[in-house]
Amino acid sequence: MSETILFWSILVSQLMLAGAMISATTRMIRGPRAQDRILALDAFYVAAMLMLVLFGIRVGTSVYFEAALVIGILGFVSTVALAKFLMRGEVIE
């Protein structure tokens, strides 16, 4: 009983997160400007991180936790670097 509840709720949650990643990707493709794409990338990696945590629950191991933490840290650093690049790299002629 509890196994079926868990299976279906995790499955539906993962599908919803997949939907979240798809809509972030559409924004990444559509743009229109660089800051929109970076914002979408930021939302995308957060959804991917949460997806990994759900995988961990589903499989029943906690090894995915470390991967999620690494995604979070790398995503933060890359977004900051890209935002900095927007301020200093492109607009100044």
Residue pair 38/82 in contact (Cβ under 8 Å)? The answer is yes
Contact flag: residue 67 with another protein (CB under 8 A):
no
Residue pair 52/71 in contact (Cβ under 8 Å)? The answer is yes
In the complex, minimum distance from the CB of residue 57 to another protein, in angstroms, rounded to a whole number: 5
Contact flag: residue 50 with another protein (CB under 8 A):
yes
User: Rg (Cα) of the chain, in Å, rounded?
Assistant: 17
C-alpha separations of 26 from 17, 34, 36, 48 in Å: 14, 14, 11, 15
Contact flag: residue 38 with another protein (CB under 8 A):
yes
Contact flag: residue 74 with another protein (CB under 8 A):
no
Cα angle, residue 33 at apex, residues 78 and 22 outer, rounded to 5°:
70
Binding site for another protein (CB under 8 A): 1-3, 5-6, 8-10, 12-14, 16-17, 19-21, 23-24, 26-27, 33, 35-36, 38-40, 42-43, 46-47, 49-50, 53-54, 56-57, 60, 62, 65, 68-69, 72-73, 76, 79-80, 83-84, 86-87, 90-91
